[in-house]
Structure 1
Amino acid sequence: MATWKGVLITGLLAVTLAGCKVTTTGGHFDSGGDPFISGLFYDARDTGRHYPTDSWAQTTNTQACQDDPLYFETSSGRVRVYGSPAYSETSFRAAASELERRIDGVLSRFQLRWADFVEDRTAAVSYPRQVIGCLSPNVPQGEFVSASLAAVAFNPYYGQWPFETGQIVSHELTHFVQENLSRYDASDSLLPLWFAEGQATVVAGEPVAPAYQHYDYEPLWDVTPLDAGSAPYRFEHYGLAYRYLERANGALAMTVLLEMVQLLDWDGGFYGEISTGESRAFVEAFNSAGLVDHRNNHLSFQRFRADYHDLLNGSY
C-alpha cells in the first residue's frame, strides 16, 4: 500500500507541480478489569535507548522525560513509555497499554497499517519504529494527554484518568500520526488548526456539528491557536469542515494529502505562509491532491475557503 501511495503522490505532483481539545468528566477511568499489555521495564543507561532530545519535535509537555532513563516497552516492541521511577508501575503499564491498543484503530482511519506508518513516517524523528510515550508532570490533570511529533505525554497519575480515556488518547494519537505524516523536519506544524483538530475530532469519534449549523462558526479562519476564539463548540465545527472533505474524497485522499505536505517539506521550496496564514506546503499540497467537492467538481484550497458556507449549504 505504501509503495502505491508513493507512486500516487509523485504522479499528482507531476501533474500540478497541532490548540488542542480536551473534554473530560469529573469521574475517573475504569479499565473494566482488562489486563494491561505485557512488557518489560528497562534502563536507558543499559540499553542506550534514551528518550528523544530533538527540541524541534517536542513540546513543553513531552520534553519532560528527556532526563528519565526508566522506560516500559510492550512485548510487541511498538510502544515505549518513559518516566520517573517516582511514578507507579501501573502508570507506565497503563499508558503503554493505551497506546498499544489504540494505535491500530487510529491508523485504520488513515487507511494505514502499522508497517505503512513506519515506512511513511518522517525519518527525521527518533525511533521511527516506535510510539514513544512520556509520563509528564507538565501535563495538567484537565488536559490529561498531549501529543508532539516525537512523543505522546500522559498525566503521570493513573488514578486521575477520566472516563473518556480511550477517546482522548485516540484524539492525541491522531495528532501524533498526522504530524508524522505531514512534517519532515519543519520546526512547527504545517497543518492549519481547523484541519488538525477537525481530523482528530472525526477519528476519535467526538461530536461534529450538524451541517445545517455551518453558519454558526467560521472554522477555516482558525489557522493557528492564536486565531481561535473561546467558543467550546468550535471543535465540532472543525470536525464539520474536515468531514466535508473526507466524505467527498475518502479517508485515503486525506492521508495522501498529509504525505504530500511532508514531501514538500522534505523537498524544500515551499516555506512560509500565504496571506491568510496557512503554510505554503499545505496549500500547495491541497491544490495538487485533485480534491473535489460534494458534486465531484474540482476543489482548490482558495475555493474551499472562500465558498465554505455555500458548499456546506448545498451538501445536505
Structure 2
Amino acid sequence: MTAEVYPNDYFGGPDKLDSAQNNANECKWLIEEIIKPELPNIIDNVERCLDMLQSEQVFRIPISSGCNETSDRPSVKGIVARQAGQLVDFQAVVRFPEFHNGKPILFKKSPESHFPLQQIETITGHLQTVLITLEDLQITMEPKSFVDKIGQVLELLIKSINLLQNPPRDFSFPDSGNAAMKLLFDDHEALSQTAHHEISLEIVLFKKELCVDFRNLIKVTKKPWCEIDPGTGKSFGDKIKDQLTTDRSKNLSSVLKENGVQIEQATFLNNLMSNFSAEITTLPQAQNYLNRCVTFNDKVVIEIAKVALTTSDPFLISTSTKLSSLENSVSNYFTNLEV
C-alpha cells in the first residue's frame, strides 16, 4: 500500500510546503467560509443604525442646570428636540448673574431656522458608504480587493464612533464662532450681546449624548490684548503664544517688550496705572491675559461662567452600542485577513 502527500499540506514536509500559496488558500477560506456568511448580519445592523439616525421620530428632551432662577449661580431651563440630523426645536431660559444684571433671557428657536447636527449627518454619510461597500464585498472574489474594502469599512466605522464620542474642533468653543447662536435665533446679537458681555451657545454630540453648553464671556477691551490681526484672525495673545512656542529661549517679558508692551513691577500703583494705559502692564496681568483670553467670534473674550447640560438620547446610545459591536467584529476579520 502506498500513499502520496500532496503539496501545500502541513504533513508534506517543509520541502513540499508553499507558504505563500498556503496563506492565500487560508485567506480565501476565511473570506468564503467565515466572513461572507456573516455579511448579511453586518449589513442588517448597519441598516438599523441608519434607521435610528434617520428616524422621523422627534425626541423632545428637557434640559436643566438644576438651579432656580433666583439663585446667585447661573441657571438654564428648557427643552431641545432632535429629528434625524436636525435640531427642530430649542427653547431655554438662561440666567447669568453678570449678564443683564441677572435678568432671565428667553432663547427660543426661530420657526424658519435650521440647525444641522453635522456629526449625525457625517456619520449617516459614512454608514451609507459602509452599506454600499459591504454589498460589494458579497460579490468580491479577489482576496486583496476584499481585504482593502473591509479595511475601508473598518476605517469608516471607527470614524463614526469617534464622531459620536467627540466633536471635531470646528464644532466646539471657541472655533465654532458661536454658529449655534447665529443659526438658531434671528435676533441673536440682541439676545446674546451687551457692551461688555457675550453669551455663547455650543450644541454638539459628546460621549453619545447631545450636549448643550452656555458660556458667559466678558469682552476684553484693554489694548493690545483686544486687538486681532485681520490678516491672520489671531489676537495679540495668540501672537505672543506663537512666539514663545517658536523660540523657547525667550521669556515672556522679553517677547512682550519686543511687541511694544512695557512691563512694570507688580505694585498697587502700577496695577492701577496698567488698567488705564495700553503700553503698561505687570507680568502677573500679562500672564493672566495669556492664560484666560480666547479668540472667539472675531473678538477677544474671557470666560467667566459656564453651564454644561447633557441629554440622554436613546437612539444615539443604541447606535453607539451597535457601532462598537460592528467595529469589534470587522476589526477581528480585518486582523485575521492581514496575518
TM-score w.r.t. the length of structure 1 is 0.24
- Structure index of larger Rg: 2
TM-score w.r.t. the length of structure 2 is 0.22
